[in-house]
Amino acid sequence: MLNTKLESILLKEFGKDILKDFPMAQYTSFKCGGKAKYLIFPRNIEEVIKIFEIIENFNEDFLILGKGTNVLISDDGFNGIVISTLKMKNFILKGEEIECECGLKISELLKICIENSLSGIEFLSGIPGTIGGAIRNNAGLKEKWISERINYVESLNIKTLKIIKRRREEIFFDYRKSDFKKDEFILKTELFLQKEKKDKIKEMIKKYLKERVEKQPLGYSAGSIFKNPYPFYAGELIEKCGLKGYSIGDCFISSKHANFIINKGRGRAKDVYELIKLIKEKVKEKFNIELETEIELIGDFK
């Protein structure tokens, strides 16, 4: 139900940085999902705090997104405020360290590293998200993680609106996860790197990109759907269930890598969800293993 007072306040505070009834299929990497009631692009910490003050006053639901590469949003959409971090992308170079805001894209950060001859995070090449999302999900490879390059992280406690600064050793990181909770908004981080020749950095980035292209399928997706249940690989389990290439609607389980679900372009979130359910059922039935989704499901799925 439309709250005219809420809308009036949002328009007054954020003007051109707010969109109404925005189709999230245009935002997320899956290219499916319904509309968000409001999509806001804050530009600084002060605006983030203002948004959460409004959310508290009107008891609105909210969703924090970077590039939208790790979510599946329901076809019914999101009846609340989506906060995009994409305009929070400032950075400060401090010798061999770089402090960067949550909305800086990984691809942009790597360009900055090349320009300034800084090495240490080339393994993030090809990951399509933002720094905030990379920290929350501890992005990386099997043996290298962004958490290993963090000096500190600043976050906003959404309930108290207090900014918290934590050193790396105060934060719990594990495989594809961290202890940043849903009531925390990651604001910025400082990473420590080291000097290296530009050509060497470019060469390493090219190597990691080539490996990703060789292993991962192209198309509209959210990357790996399931976490690997140690000591197994989710893709291998799914493949052994004979599900490679299986499709529902305009979405299918990739024949190149079974832990990817691809939207051909006209797929619905419901199609993806039904494939996720099918995979979980078949893997449980065959191996007695409960697969855990790596992506976040937003909204109602029936």
Active-site residue set: 176, 224, 294
Query: Taking the C-alpha atoms of 287, 293, 298 and 299 in order, what is their torsion angle to the nearest 10 degrees?
Result: 10
SS3 223: coil
Q: Is the separation of the CB atoms in 153 and 41 below 8 Å?
A: no
HSE of 160, CA atoms in CB hemisphere, 13 A: 7
Q: Which amino acid is at 18?
A: I
- The DSSP letter of residue 37 is E
- Residue 135 makes CB contacts below 8 A (sequence gap 6+) with 102, 146, 147, 150, 153, 178, 180, 186, 189
- The DSSP letter of residue 55 is H
In angstroms, what CA-CA distances link 205 with 4, 105, 114, 121, 139?
A: 49, 15, 10, 9, 16
C-alpha closest to that of 127 among 148, 141, 144: 141
